[in-house]
Amino acid sequence: MRRQDRKRKSGGALRRSGVPLWGRPAYRDPMTDSASICPCRQTSAQQLTFAECCEPYLKGKPAPTPEALMRSRYTAYAVSDIDYLLESLAPEARYDFDRKSVTHWSKSSQWNGLDILALEGGAPGDQEGFVEFNAHFTTDGKKQTHRERSRFRFDAESGRWLFVEQANRKAAPVVKEKQPGRNDPCTCGSGLKYKKCCGKAA
């Protein structure tokens, strides 16, 4: 999940005052306490606290799965940890990261919870994983839901999962029903044989 305006940004080393950002103290929203329900869990049946869920990742602990990274990125929007949103992007995806736009969206929205809909890949040893989700938020007094299927890749050098891009959602498979035989009763209920009824056009 990203807020973009296609402004080109540098994809160079991410440092602040000469210190690598991984391992820095996480930004702490004054409204988010370690004992409060994690922002990503507000609509979840498993109500974990911020300390039990995303806070360790925002403080620098590697997210172990694409789902954990997706949850921590949603929480980063909720607590306005903009540095984390940049850090957790793959280098090839950082060129259009617009801090001003992301910060405005983060701070001007109310973050109402994250629903994980589907997971694909992302197990130990996998190089790629996908997370499909609904992100709930309120902007300008209007409740909104953003649905997305995100692609993540594992960076062996840093030992971290990184967000790459929005991926197309998979279409539901088309299931063809078995056609009746030509001498079978027509499925439309006419009482005629299939070959004398709907099967004429088949």
68-120 confidence digits (pLDDT tens): 999 999 999 999 999 999 999 999 999 999 999 999 999 999 999 999 999 99
pLDDT greater than 80 at residue 27: no
Q: Looking at residue 89, what is its pLDDT?
A: 97
Which comes out higher in pLDDT, residue 183 or 150? 150
Taken in order 139, 141, 147, 152, the sign of the CA dihedral is: positive
DSSP of 121-174: E-STT-SEEEEEEEEEEEETTEEEEEEEEEEEEEETTTTEEEEEEEEPPPPPPP
Residue 71: how many other CB atoms lie within 10 Å: 25
pLDDT greater than 90 at residue 61: yes
Assess contact for 90 and 155: CB atoms under 8 A.
yes
Of the candidates 12, 79, 6, 2, the residue with the CA atom closest to the CA atom of residue 40? 79
pLDDT greater than 90 at residue 181: no
With 0-12 / 13-18 / 19 or more C-beta atoms within 10 angstroms meaning exposed / middle / buried, residue 137 is buried
Enter the tokens of residue 57.
């990742």
Tell me the sheet residues that pair with 192: none
Q: What is the mean pLDDT of the chain?
A: 80
Residue 35 binned pLDDT confidence (cut-offs 50, 70, 90): confident
pLDDT greater than 50 at residue 192: no
Per-residue pLDDT tens digits for 112-155: 999 999 999 999 999 999 999 999 999 999 999 999 999 999 99
Percent of the chain with pLDDT over 90: 61
d(CA 106, CA 76): 8
